[in-house]
Amino acid sequence: MINSLGTALSALKVGQTKLDVTANNIANVSTEKFQQKTTNISEQSNGGVKVDSISPPRNENETNINNVNLEEQMVGLIQEQHYYSSNLQTIKTADKMLGSLINIKA
């Protein structure tokens, strides 16, 4: 149960980073030569997730143009909202379970 809290908390931290990157991409949608960034995540051995890197675009030939796709970024925001709320629900459920255990023991 404690492990589920750690996993959900690590996911919330990753979600915040993803949200920050997406917000930065959207803020620079009209900036000339701005290259959108992507967040690369991976699993941790303890079951959580972490941000490996925030990377520039894959195609180096596109460095002279703005490559931010606003539609993709908006879809990303919706995904991140669901990502965030599902992990928050995991934390709430674990909190209720821990509260129930404490009440049983008391």
67: helix, coil or strand? coil
Query: From CA 38, how far away is CA 55, in angstroms rounded?
Result: 5
Q: What is the pLDDT of residue 63?
A: 60
Q: What is the pLDDT of residue 55?
A: 87
Average predicted confidence (pLDDT) for the chain: 86
Verdict on whether the full-model pTM lies above 0.85: no
* DSSP for 51-66, written as a single string: EEEEE--S-GGGTTS-
Which secondary-structure segment (H or E) carries 9?
A: helix 2-27
Q: What is the pLDDT of residue 60?
A: 59
Sign of CA dihedral 82, 83, 84, 87: positive
Task: Give the residue from 90, 97, 25 showing the smallest Cα distance to 55.
Answer: 25
